[in-house]
Structures are given as structure tokens and as C-alpha cells.
Amino acid sequence: MSDEPVSDGPVPETDKPKTKQFRRRFDGVRLPVDAAARQGKAATLAWERFRENAAVIAYLNTHDEALGGRPIDLAVASEEGLKAVKQHLDAKGA
């Protein structure tokens, strides 16, 4: 008996691989590169301060009266907002 696989006929070849067969297309709004960089910087600063996922997420997503908004929103909106978040985190660490 042979070790060759049994085939009923030739296997059809396709022109394109089906690598994205089940992926959904992203149609949402993407952040501009500079805003995404500020978002990442704010998350990194919060992580360096708290070192715990739940605390970082809570800090970034909770409205803060001293800042006048959510830290993540302020950081994404402008460089000044990111500076305010950094100063606020520095004050919390002192």
C-alpha cells in the first residue's frame, strides 16, 4: 500500500490567497499620527506612575475636575493637554 494521499482529481489553483477571508474592514475614524502619538505618550506616563492596568485605565478614562476633562481626551486633543496630564501625574507622584 502506498503512503500517497488519495485524490479524486486535480486541485484547482486560485489566483489570490484567502488571507483576509474572515476579517472585517475597519471603517472607523482613525486618529491623526500626532494625536495617536500623544495618546500613547499619555498611556505610557500613566503606566509609569501607577504600574497597574486597572489604575491606568481608570485614571485615563475618568473625568478629573482639576484637569477639566478626561486625561486621555485632553492628551489626544493637543500638546498642551498632554503637558497638563504630565504635570498632573507628576503632582500625584510627589
What digits encode the pLDDT tens for the residues 64-77?
A: 999 999 999 999 99
Backbone angles phi, psi at 69, to 5 degrees: 170, -175
Q: What is the pTM of this model?
A: 0.70
What would the grid cell of residue 45 be? 506616563
Quick: pLDDT tens for 26-61: 788 899 999 999 999 999 999 999 999 999 999 999
Residues 6+ apart with CB under 8 A from 65: none
